[in-house]
Structure 1
């Protein structure tokens, strides 16, 4: 018998006293209350795994680095996309004669090929002037008088340049005077900067337009054309 004031729990089937913590009646095995299932436990486990995965997985670079991707896309935009048609034709011509030169068998063939390139360049640059060509500054320096020499690569093997000393430049005047408009434009530029430029070539009896290489091989494969720059500006 239970103590006074104590609540007795009895089985609904057999009427015997049972412990309130029992799931089944110890006398007749009648179920007193539902046993805990595993459904909630499994559901909780799944939720925990999902939350853990979301919190620990690497951030989605496409969502968090939009600005960086856009910056890279601008940086990787090729110079060719800015080139005028005349510049593209010039580069293709130089490289075509370079390929032909590399296939020559002797100096006689090399000489004839150089003459052919001279005629082609003379035809292409009847006025010698070009506008809005693009390239990358590879050399920017000054002589003892403070005048600037400039080299711009328009392709891996093709340079447009001034002379880099007053002695070589005395019959040209290609170097950039420190009191000039172009000098002011170059003042805040550096090697590696991409620029748009205008100016003119110098006529040459040997190559159609003046080229500074000391050897025919240099002239035909890695030419450096002397140029008078009238404008140089960074590509925006």
Structure 2
């Protein structure tokens, strides 16, 4: 699939470059064969080293399509229809009529010529000779060959269409690249402005949400670069004044969650809830199983507190005293590097030891997962080993007892996602009374507000996931041992109201006891409602990855 994506990209770029040679040509076939081989070789050198973020290209495109706002999807659908009609056009007169149709599409989808939260990928970012920044963004949903219909079926083509090398093309929103040609448009981004400083953290290939103001034009409604007719209909380039950009973080895909097992079962609320079925009604019908790999994941553990090698004895009095003393010790002299915020992500620490019948520790081992320092590890190890152990009770019939203690350093969301040395841009409140903000300060304050809100949303989401994790783990009660290879994968969909929340088992564990333990815990868990910052979404989906 990766090879297919690269080949598709090569074909698409060849078609774009061919426009410089073709002018009025209709297809790539009119280019000299030698020139085609040269283009192929150049593009292979350029494209093959690309990493594509280690993701499947088509999967990333589907994920970006799921983020498109409604006007963007309507625009892409309209452009796809125009591309299909262009394949059937016989002369320039018919093509000119399609240009009028594109103008009506722009008037319908962008009546104010303003793009809000549109999704795309940066294709060019640089500096002009005068020191201004220029920017080019390729619109998501208009990539590569294959005309998409309104149902969003990838690669589908209307019946009776004669393919002549044309594709659905790519829509580009861009600035000019020289100040002399930008005197009227004023699309270049001057050095020192808030947007210029924001762009320092971006690079070509970044997936972004962006806001932009398009420029008016008498006949075509929106100003664009001069191109031949085919290019204006397939690969239009609209002059844009960008106002804001925001990176889209593509979650790390997990191949094991790409396909739903045949024996997947559903519990909790029914997935046929009509309120939930309305989500994204105006967007493409993207297969949900394709996007499972990109959902946020919460790691849950059956054992929290301690785990034993043998449960066939009256272990509760002995272990509860040890656990209680360990928790008291944890409150004494907590690690300073954690309290100071040097490790805000937190992590899980495990101390495993072997206990003889006479109460002596034969050996111990410690390991950690996540952002955990040596001070944090040593702090937990001391809390476990500083307890003066009595002998094992007489009802313990084995020669030794293997014990595992677990402790989780919770994340510190208020310290997450803040870059070191980040300067705070003054907002409205920092301006002296009676003074008005100039255009530069207003733009800076607006961008700063957007950045601060983005950080706040990410912090809120991190805290909510941790609260959800603890709510579920508190209801898990284990009275037997399980293999370390046991695993259960559940898709949880938290809705508004939270009473309609339901879950779906995506991967069954090896034993029914493991499954029953988790189902009982989920049935008893009181799912926390979505925070206010997250209530703009109808539902929040998350993967629960449960292991011993």
Of 210, 219, 237, 1:206 maps to 219
Residues in 1 aligned to 2:95 and 2:103: alpha-carbon distance in whole angstroms = 12
Q: Which residue of structure 1 lines up, in the alignment, with residue 234 of structure 2? A: 221
Residue segments in structure 1 that go unaligned for 5+ positions in a row: 1-70
Report which structure shows greater RCO (CA 8 Å, sep ≥6): 1
Residues in 2 aligned to 1:171 and 1:178: alpha-carbon distance in whole angstroms = 18
Of 86, 96, 104, 1:111 maps to 96
Question: Where do 1:1-236 residues align within 5 Å?
Answer: 72=55, 76-77=59-60, 78-154=63-139, 155-156=142-143, 157-236=170-249
Residues in 1 aligned to 2:218 and 2:228: alpha-carbon distance in whole angstroms = 16
Q: Say which is worse superposed, 164-173 or 134-143, in terms of deviation.
A: 164-173
Judge conservation of contact 1:182–1:231 (CA < 8 Å) in 2: yes
1:71-116 CA-to-partner distances (Å, cap 9, x unmatched) read: 858x944211211111111111122112212211111111122112
Q: Say which is worse superposed, 177-186 or 144-153, in terms of deviation.
A: 177-186
> Which stretches of structure 1, 4 residues or longer, exceed 4 Å deviation after superposition?
none
State how many pairs are aligned.
Answer: 166
**Change in CA separation of 1:101 and 1:205 when aligned onto 2, cut-off 3 Å:** farther
Query: How far off its partner does 1:136 sit?
Result: 0.6
Taking only aligned residues, the RMSD between alpha carbons, in angstroms, comes to 2.0
Residues in 2 aligned to 1:175 and 1:224: alpha-carbon distance in whole angstroms = 15
Judge conservation of contact 2:82–2:233 (CA < 8 Å) in 1: yes
Residue segments in structure 2 that go unaligned for 5+ positions in a row: 1-53, 144-169, 250-548
Judge conservation of contact 1:186–1:233 (CA < 8 Å) in 2: no
**Rg larger for:** 1
**1:100 aligned counterpart, secondary structure:** helix
TM-score (norm 2): 0.29
Judge conservation of contact 2:187–2:239 (CA < 8 Å) in 1: yes
